[in-house]
Amino acid sequence: MIKWVDFQSLGDERGDLVAIEIGMEKAVPFEIKRVYYIYRTAEGVSRGYHAHRNLKQVAICVSGKCRMVLDNGRKRENIWMSNPTKGLLIESMTWREMHDFSDDCVLVVLASEHYDESDYIRDYQAFLRLATI
Ligand code: T46
C-alpha cells in the first residue's frame, strides 16, 4: 500500500532544491489541480481521520517529520515522513491519519482535484463499509 514518488534533488554546495512541474506524469501519476501545505501543527495534535472517495494525493514532508497512517480497510500501515525528495502517494479510498508532528514539520500536498467537502468520508465505520464492498 505504501508507494513513494521520487523527486530528484537539484542541490549543489549551496543547498538543496526540488522542482515539481505540471505535466510530470512520470513522477506524479495525476494532473495536479491543487497544492496545499500543513505547518505549525500544535504539539500532540493529530490530523486527518478521513478518506476521500476520488481524490488522489502525493504528500511530501519538506521539513521536520511526522507519522502517517494509511488504511485501505484491510491493512493499516505506519510510515514516518521526513525526506523532501520522497512523496507518499495516497490513493482514493484510503483512510489517513497524521500523528507526531515535529515543531518544524511542513507537509506539502499535491492533489488531483479541487477542494470538495463532499468527497470526504469522515466516519471510519462508513469508510470500512464502502472500502470492503
Ligand atoms: C488530507 C490531509 C493529508 C480548504 O478550504 N481547502 C483545502 O484545500 C484544504 C485541504 C482544506 N481546507 C479547509 C477545510 C478545513 O476547514 O481547511 C481546514 C482544515 O482542513 P482539514 O481539517 O481537512 O485538514 P486535515 O489536516 O485534517 O486534512 C488535510 C486535507 O484536508 C486532506 O484532504 O488528505 O490533509
Pocket test for ligand 1, best of 69, 109, 114 (most atoms within 8 A of CB): 109
* Nearest residue (CA) to ligand 1, atom 7: 115
Q: Are the CB atoms for 41 and 47 separated by under 8 Å?
A: yes
Instruction: Name the CATH code of domain 3-131 (choices 2.120.10.30, 2.60.120.10, 3.10.20.30, 1.10.3720.10).
Output: 2.60.120.10
What are the structural domain ranges in the chain? 3-131
Hey, is 50 helix, strand or coil?
strand
Pocket test for ligand 1, best of 30, 33, 36, 91 (most atoms within 8 A of CB): 36
Residue positions annotated with a catalytic role? 50
Give per-residue pLDDT as tens, 72-113.
999 999 999 999 999 999 999 999 999 999 999 999 999 999
The three three-digit cell numbers of residue 97, written as one number: 491519519
Ligand 1 mean position, distance from CA 23 (Å): 24
Among 2-6, 13-17, 23-27, 44-48, the minimum mean pLDDT is found in 23-27
Ligand 1 mean position, distance from CA 129 (Å): 23
Give per-residue pLDDT as tens, 103-122.
999 999 999 999 999 999 99
Q: For residue 133, what pLDDT is reported?
A: 80
